Amino acid sequence: MPRRPPISSTMMPTLSGFDAASLCETLRARLEQDFPQIIEPCPPDDYIAALDSIEGYGGYREFGNEATRIAGRVEQLAGLPGIELYHRFVLARLMSRFERDCIRHALPASVKDQYLIEFQRIAKFMTVARPGTYLPRNDGFCKDLAICRGKLLPCGAQLVDVRSGVPRRILGGGGLSQAMAALHFFGMRTGGFRPFYEMHLDPRAMSQFSPAGWDACYLRIAELLELNPGIRGVFGSSWWFDPEVERNSPTIAWLRRRPLDAGARVFRAGSGESAVNDALKFSPQRKALYDAGRYEPTIWSMVWARSDLLAWAKSVRNPIQGR
């Protein structure tokens, strides 16, 4: 049996004139050698086309009926090792088509730089990933697939969904006063609930979880807004946008204060098990308050209208002109 070529983390060229042909060829050779029964009935380009056909405002974990059917067929024919190798090849194929096909959104140079960082990370991780990594139930894989598809844009501290909308359920999340305030804000300030950019935290980007890292992220989002005038602004939902966190965890108050001081609004969205787990995970102080019944972790949505975010970005880039 011929020896399988290794995956090299140095195969990824620069994003300028990006070409992942070597990685694609290596992974295709592995597929054809180890699982020859899946290439013809389940062409990877058909799988990619099925993913690309997903329309509307679905989340980054949405695969659609046709892509789900194809993946199920691959797993049926080749088992878990086969679907994982298939997905690795799909990632490489998408990266090779990055500038030609996958990105339908105008991107500033700063975000393209982040793409290069992410592509290098994705390629390098293929050399050390454990079994079970490249499956739809793995959030990290879903995020990487969405990055390569152009559904999630890497902006540093956060990943940004290019097509999302603020859930209208926030109208009922904080009583009548919040509903009236939200209707006024979305009616007068943003002009509607969609389309918005939506921010998602990637634990693999925690090195940029700092005031400077988030400011750089917001500046990249501002550049995206400048190039894509149809987007109404950006929003994100988390326990750290809760006003209570500013009081019980002042060292991370900047997460909330930065956008609010520049015109953003926050709206209570509700609580739940995930909010409790995330808020208490790394903070004995918040856990003690929770155990004492003095703190209930709650999800709040922060919404930053495009005009306000662009005004903030202008003031940061040129403090005198932005006054």
Q: Give this prediction's pTM.
A: 0.91
* CA gap 285, 256 in Å, rounded: 19
Q: What is the pLDDT of residue 9?
A: 34
* CA gap 27, 89 in Å, rounded: 5
pLDDT (tens digit per residue) in 160-210: 999 999 998 899 989 999 999 999 999 999 999 999 999 999 999 999 999
> Which are the contacts of 1, defined by CB distance < 8 A and separation ≥ 6?
33
* CA gap 73, 199 in Å, rounded: 33
Determine the straight-line distance between the first and last CA of the chain, rounded to whole angstroms.
Answer: 70
> Exposed (0-12), middle (13-18) or buried (19+): which is 250, by Cβ within 10 Å?
exposed
* CA gap 15, 22 in Å, rounded: 14
Q: DSSP secondary-structure letter at 126? A: T
Confidence at 20, pLDDT banded by 50, 70, 90 = confident
Q: What is the pLDDT of residue 101?
A: 58
Reduced to 3 states, what is the DSSP secondary structure of residue 7?
coil
> Is 102's pLDDT higher than 60?
no
Q: What is the pLDDT of residue 55?
A: 80
pLDDT (tens digit per residue) in 38-47: 999 999 999 9
Mean pLDDT of 274-284: 95
Q: What is the pLDDT of residue 6?
A: 41
Q: Which of 56-65, 91-100, 223-232, 238-247 is least confident?
A: 91-100
Q: What is the pLDDT of residue 12?
A: 36
Confidence at 97, pLDDT banded by 50, 70, 90 = confident
Confidence at 58, pLDDT banded by 50, 70, 90 = confident
> Which are the contacts of 132, defined by CB distance < 8 A and separation ≥ 6?
80, 84, 138
Confidence at 319, pLDDT banded by 50, 70, 90 = confident
Q: What is the pLDDT of residue 19?
A: 58
Q: Is the peptide bond before 211 cis (omega within 30 degrees of 0)?
A: no
* CA gap 246, 260 in Å, rounded: 12
Residues 277 and 252: beta-carbon distance below 8 Å: no
* CA gap 226, 62 in Å, rounded: 28
> Is 294's pLDDT higher than 60?
yes
Residue type for position 53: S
* CA gap 271, 300 in Å, rounded: 9
Structure-token match 């059917």, residue found: 69
* CA gap 68, 50 in Å, rounded: 9
* CA gap 123, 177 in Å, rounded: 49
Q: DSSP secondary-structure letter at 199? A: E
Q: DSSP secondary-structure letter at 106? A: -
Structure tokens at 280: 């208490």
Q: What is the pLDDT of residue 10?
A: 35
Q: What is the pLDDT of residue 232?
A: 98
Query: Using H for helix, E for strand and C for coil, what is the string for 287-301?
Result: HHHHHCCCCCCCEEE
> Is 13's pLDDT higher than 60?
no
